[in-house]
Amino acid sequence: MATALQENPRIAGHGPARWDESPILTVEHLTMRFGGLVAVSDLSFNVGRGDITALIGPNGAGKTTVFNCVTGFYKPTEGRTVMRHGDGLQAAAIEDVTRSGLRFSESGSGGVFLLERMPDFEIAHRARVARTFQNIRLFGGMTALENLLVAQHNPLMSASLFTIGGILAVPGYKQAEKKAIERATYWLEQVRLTERADDPAADLPYGAQRRLEIARAMCTDPLLLCLDEPAAGLNPRESHELNELLKFIRDEHGTSILLIEHDMGVVMEISDHVIVLDYGVKISDGDAKHVKSDPRVIAAYLGVDDEAEIDVPEIKHDVEEVIEEAEELAEADKAAAQRKAARAKPASKSARAKAAGRTGGAKAGGAKTLEKPATTRTAKKAAEPVKSEVVVKNAADYPGRQPHGTRKPAAGAPDNLTRIKGIGPANEKKLNALGIWHFSQIATWKAREVDWVGAWLSFPGRIEREEWVKQAKTLAKGGATAFSKRVDKGEVPTSKATPKRNRGKGGKA
Ligand SMILES: Nc1ncnc2c1ncn2[C@@H]1O[C@H](COP(=O)(O)OP(=O)(O)OP(=O)(O)O)[C@@H](O)[C@H]1O
């Protein structure tokens, strides 16, 4: 059987691996339905041999579903997933296996494996695809070393000839056991856990448990390592160490890596190839540089919680432009107000007396006078569409109507708009620049305002899909949504921490 190292064109000096020329994994027209829900729709992509490939996308985009299909945890509704050992596309061999109804064919150092036809244990041990999970799944009561030995259960069982050969310590078994311990020791060293080899896995710190999971997967000697959010919960130092570990696995062992990750720092730094999903559909596919500047990716990420981690110069430019316009306007208004004040005559005696009378009335009448009902004129004014205080130069270029915005938030404190699902920190900045600070403002938007904002933020339709207005109505009344509760619990990173005392009413941060 060829090792990953021998198969890696990067290491063999054949130049950089190109995922379409030398794919280790090919996903073709993959569709996964759960009842009426299409979690993944007609998805195709290649994972390059010896590459680190990242699968990214907003929450619910379908990433884990793809992983579950590739690793045999789900049987896809439609589509073909091919794992290749050995060089080249092996197109003829793949067609032969597909037609024959077999699950795989192996020849010498090569082989093609139709993963959708194989059970998960066979995908792991025969197709040599290993995985880790979003939630750590170590054997907590076993030591770190034992976890790595259990991962090698298969070769040990084969060596014992599936009999009591292990207990009798037949030579083949002894040799296999020695190899298993050597491999486990090697990987413990690589993930810097040698000192903790005899500690129960559950006693290890979180970051160490994540590394141990990767070590355990590597003990199965995979050609493709699938990692589901390996950086989740890691601090910046641990994330950096993870990057180094993954690059080491790729460069020194030639293992191809398919990675789901929300941490864009990790994705952009180490990925050779990035595939972006949104609502189960591929929206971008290329190297990190290409994907980072793809407008479809920017639009998709504008709506999610971790968008701040994406470097999107286009947004910065937009925001700066709008803020600049707003500042110019404010300056002009201030100058006009000063000119008007200078021109104004001092108030007449009768006007002063009238004003004094009103004040006196208020004092005498107490709350009744202070809570004077709105006049017909003010009520009428409130019903009319109000011209926004924040003027956008090209407002007319967008469909619909610019919503009313105010230069300053009421009572000096804006709401935490990122408590609305679909508004991330970058969007919040753009909305603030537009004078939108409060849930109550978004709650008043009608279809025309939604159209305008959708076009201005460059993602038509998204606001309706995410139901910003509905969420804003609930939040404006001091209620909470399932998403805002997750933000309040700190499960979703946002631009600012929501203090506990403010989580109820309005959720000001
Ligand atoms: N077993 C299942 N049964 C029903 N629906 C499911 C199942 N697994 C996933 N889904 C749905 O499929 C969609 C995609 O989910 P998936 O977990 O693949 O997304 P994801 O991109 O991995 O999200 P996240 O980044 O939040 O982990 C979601 O709408 C989810 O609710």
Helix (H), strand (E), coil (C) string for 362-403:
HHHHCHHHHCCCCCHHHHHHHHCCCCCCCCCCCHHHCCCCCC
In a domain, 340, yes or no: no
Three-class DSSP category at 58: coil
Same domain, 305 and 392: no
Residue 325: pLDDT band with limits 50, 70, 90:
low
Residue nearest to atom 10 of ligand 1 (CA): 39
Looking at residues 44-73, what average pLDDT do you find? 93
Query: What number of H helices and E strands is found in the chain?
Result: 23, 11
Same domain, 294 and 399: no
461-475 per-position pLDDT tens digit: 778 877 899 999 999
212 contacts 143 by C-beta, under 8 angstroms: no
In a domain, 305, yes or no: yes
Closest among 31, 57, 34 to 44, alpha carbons compared: 31
Last residue of a domain, one of 255, 281, 309: 309
- Both tokens of 257, joined, read 């890596």
Same domain, 97 and 224: yes
- Residue ranges making up the domain that contains 426: 312-329+386-509
Sign of CA pseudo-dihedral 206, 123, 5, 275: negative
Same domain, 304 and 321: no
Residue nearest to atom 28 of ligand 1 (CA): 60
> For residue 60, how far is its CA from the centre of ligand 1 (angstroms)?
5
Res 329 pLDDT > 70? no
The residue whose CB lies within 8 Å of the most ligand 1 atoms, and thus the one to mutate among 32, 33, 37, is 37
In angstroms, rounded to a whole number, what is the distance separating the alpha carbons of residues 493 and 308? 9
In a domain, 370, yes or no: no
* Number of domains, the chain: 2
Say if ligand 1 is within 6 A of residue 400 CB: no
H helix or E strand, kind and range, residue 209: helix 206-218
> For residue 63, how far is its CA from the centre of ligand 1 (angstroms)?
8
Last residue of a domain, one of 262, 279, 309: 309
Q: HSE on the CB side for 2, CA within 13 Å?
A: 19
Res 150 pLDDT > 80? yes
Point out which residues pair with 32 in neighbouring strands: 40
**What size, in residues, is the chain?**
509
Res 122 pLDDT > 70? yes
Q: What are phi and psi of 210, to 5 degrees?
A: -65, -40
Q: What is the SS3 string spanning 439-498?
A: HHHHHCCCHHHHHHHHHHCCCCCHHHHHCHHHHHHHHHCCCCCHHHHHHHCCCCCCCCCC
What's 94's domain CATH number? 3.40.50.300
Same domain, 316 and 267: no
Same domain, 251 and 145: yes
Same domain, 321 and 238: no
Give DSSP secondary structure letters for 330-366. Answer: HHHHHHHHHHHHHHPPPPPHHHHHHHHHHHHHHHHHT
In angstroms, rounded to a whole number, what is the distance separating the alpha carbons of residues 212 and 204? 9
In a domain, 448, yes or no: yes
In a domain, 366, yes or no: no
Res 310 pLDDT > 70? no
Question: Can you say how many angstroms the Cα of residue 147 is from the centroid of all Cα atoms in its chain?
Answer: 30
Query: What is the identity of the amino acid at 150?
Result: V
Same domain, 259 and 396: no
pLDDT of 14 reads 45
In angstroms, rounded to a whole number, what is the distance separating the alpha carbons of residues 382 and 389? 15
Res 449 pLDDT > 60? yes
Res 332 pLDDT > 50? yes
Least confidently predicted of 97-101, 346-350, 389-393: 346-350
Residue 444: pLDDT band with limits 50, 70, 90:
very high
> For residue 59, how far is its CA from the centre of ligand 1 (angstroms)?
8
289 contacts 295 by C-beta, under 8 angstroms: no
Say if ligand 1 is within 6 A of residue 75 CB: no
Say if ligand 1 is within 6 A of residue 59 CB: yes
Same domain, 158 and 245: yes
Same domain, 228 and 322: no
Looking at residues 393-419, what average pLDDT do you find? 86
Please report the atom of ligand 1 found closest to the CA of residue 262: 25
In a domain, 419, yes or no: yes
Same domain, 269 and 317: no
Say if ligand 1 is within 6 A of residue 61 CB: yes
pLDDT of 392 reads 82
The residue whose CB lies within 8 Å of the most ligand 1 atoms, and thus the one to mutate among 31, 64, 275, is 64
Listing from the earlier edge strand, what are the strands of the sheet with 37-48? 37-48, 23-34, 78-85, 110-114, 104-107
Residue nearest to atom 26 of ligand 1 (CA): 59
Q: What is the average pLDDT value for the chain, to the nearest integer?
A: 77
In a domain, 351, yes or no: no
Say if ligand 1 is within 6 A of residue 435 CB: no
> For residue 238, how far is its CA from the centre of ligand 1 (angstroms)?
27
Last residue of a domain, one of 260, 275, 309: 309
472-485 per-position pLDDT tens digit: 999 999 999 988 88
Same domain, 254 and 319: no
pLDDT of 6 reads 43
In a domain, 363, yes or no: no
Say if ligand 1 is within 6 A of residue 421 CB: no
127-148 per-position pLDDT tens digit: 999 998 877 678 877 888 888 9
153-179 per-position pLDDT tens digit: 665 555 444 455 555 555 555 677 778
